[in-house]
């Protein structure tokens, strides 16, 4: 199968909120064409780290800085000890002179769970690896899951540890077992015996392409292709009906009436099985494909020990957004806000909002 080659860019565009306009900025020196990098703002500098560049899954560990006053780029010199080249990592601002890089991915199925501190002082900035504790409470993969700083903690959403399988970046809904019925098998057999009508056996809910959103699936109606099947399947359940064309008119009328009742029964059975399948998919999706909250305590990151620890939290299978990557996670007024994202296994794109509220205690 031929896939069109993807193209990366190193263009700089500035958006003005007041005028609602984009402006392209031309600079003499630029970083290489890059994607999936991370960035933070420190005074008048935008500090950019890592990303995919120079070819398929070729990643970087360079640091580039953009002066926001003059719109000029320069590649920043750093210490010899530095993080592995990566993409999809989170970058957290820890004041004007420090930033933290968490997780990322170095290649297909090569997610990283480490953390690095960058001190931005002097001509050459210094990287230092953070000592991570309580790693048994860490997410299995911090890859394209945006982290968010709240006080002395970093909040990460990721797949529940109990749900994650080795070397599996996501769980496909195609693994959900289809419910079967002897009567449904019989109807398929009758269709195959006729020879000129084929039943759509595709497992997708909405025909052969696409999927219902959660709101649509609750009010699902029989799809158009199913209705056509109900109209065209000749149901030869007995010899009387199969020989109706060669008998008298009264018998033919009775046969047609009987056929209509049987087709209506078949239609109701198909709709019942389809609704059952939809419910099973929704339950399985909620039980298996949800994001959980993970908390990293960074109180001592700037100390001489430079350590951080994951806080034990009970994982809740019944709450959380559907599992996804490349979503936005920001701090609101007393809550965290999750927006959008993409489901990696089948490229379903989300545009929903989720609010994560902290627990409340009554004394």
Q: Token pair for residue 332?
A: 């609101």
Q: Which of 284, 144, 105, 87 is nearest to 203 (CA)?
A: 284
Report which secondary-structure segment, H or E, holds 112.
strand 111-119
pLDDT reading at 247 higher than 50: no
Q: Token pair for residue 310?
A: 């994951």
pLDDT for res 229: 30
299 touches 152 (CB < 8 A): yes
Span 323-361, pLDDT tens digits? 889 899 999 988 999 999 998 777 789 999 999 887 766
Cα distances (angstroms) measured from residue 131 to each of 100, 146, 299: 13, 21, 12
For residues 12 and 34, what is the distance between their CA atoms, to the nearest angstrom? 12
Q: What is the mean pLDDT of the chain?
A: 75
* 251 band by pLDDT with thresholds 50, 70 and 90: low
DSSP string, 298-338: -TTTTSSS-EEEEPP----TT-SPBS-BS-EEEE-SSSEEE
pLDDT for res 156: 93
pLDDT reading at 213 higher than 60: no
For residues 226 and 183, what is the distance between their CA atoms, to the nearest angstrom? 16
pTM strictly above 0.75: no
Q: Token pair for residue 63?
A: 């640091």
Higher-pLDDT residue of 344 and 96 is 96
pLDDT for res 289: 77
Buried-state track 11-22, b at ≥16 Cβ within 10 A, e below 16? eeeeeeeeeeee
Burial of residue 253 (number of CB atoms within 10 Å: 0-12, 13-18, 19+) = exposed
Average pLDDT over residues 195-205: 38
Identify the structural domains of the chain with CATH numbers, from first to last. 1-129 (2.120.10.80), 133-169+291-363 (no CATH), 173-287 (no CATH)
pLDDT for res 190: 33
pLDDT for res 202: 38
């Amino acid at each position: 199968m031929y896939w069109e080659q993807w193209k990366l860019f190193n263009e700089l565009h500035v958006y003005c909120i007041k005028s609602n306009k984009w402006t392209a900025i031309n600079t003499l020196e630029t970083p290489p064409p890059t994607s999936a990098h991370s960035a933070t703002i420190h005074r008048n500098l935008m500090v950019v780290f890592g990303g995919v560049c120079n070819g398929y899954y070729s990643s970087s560990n360079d640091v580039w800085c953009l002066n926001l006053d003059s719109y000029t780029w320069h590649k920043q010199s750093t210490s010899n000890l530095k993080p592995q080249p990566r993409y999809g990592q989170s970058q957290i601002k820890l004041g004007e002179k420090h930033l933290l890089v968490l997780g990322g991915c170095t290649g297909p199925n090569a997610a990283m769970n480490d953390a690095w501190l960058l001190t931005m002082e002097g001509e050459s900035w210094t990287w230092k690896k953070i000592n991570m504790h309580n790693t048994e409470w860490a997410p299995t993969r911090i890859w394209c899951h945006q982290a968010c700083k709240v006080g002395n903690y970093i909040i990460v959403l990721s797949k529940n540890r109990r749900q994650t399988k080795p070397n599996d970046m996501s769980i496909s809904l195609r693994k959900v077992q289809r419910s079967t019925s002897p009567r449904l098998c019989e109807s398929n057999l009758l269709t195959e015996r006729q020879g000129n009508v084929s039943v759509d056996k595709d497992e997708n809910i909405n025909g052969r392409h696409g999927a219902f959103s959660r709101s649509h699936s609750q009010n699902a109606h029989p799809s158009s292709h199913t209705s056509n099947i109900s109209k065209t399947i000749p149901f030869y359940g007995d010899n009387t009906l199969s020989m109706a064309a060669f008998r008298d008119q009264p018998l033919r009328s009775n046969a047609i009436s009987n056929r209509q009742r049987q087709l209506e029964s078949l239609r109701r059975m198909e709709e019942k099985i389809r609704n059952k399948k939809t419910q099973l998919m929704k339950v399985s999706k909620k039980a298996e494909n949800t994001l959980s909250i993970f908390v990293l305590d960074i109180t001592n990151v700037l100390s001489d020990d430079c350590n951080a620890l994951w806080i034990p939290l009970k994982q809740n299978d019944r709450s959380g957004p559907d599992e996804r990557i490349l979503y936005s996670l920001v701090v609101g007024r007393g809550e965290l806000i999750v927006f959008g994202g993409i489901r990696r296994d089948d490229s379903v794109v989300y545009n929903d909002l989720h609010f994560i509220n902290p627990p409340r205690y009554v004394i």
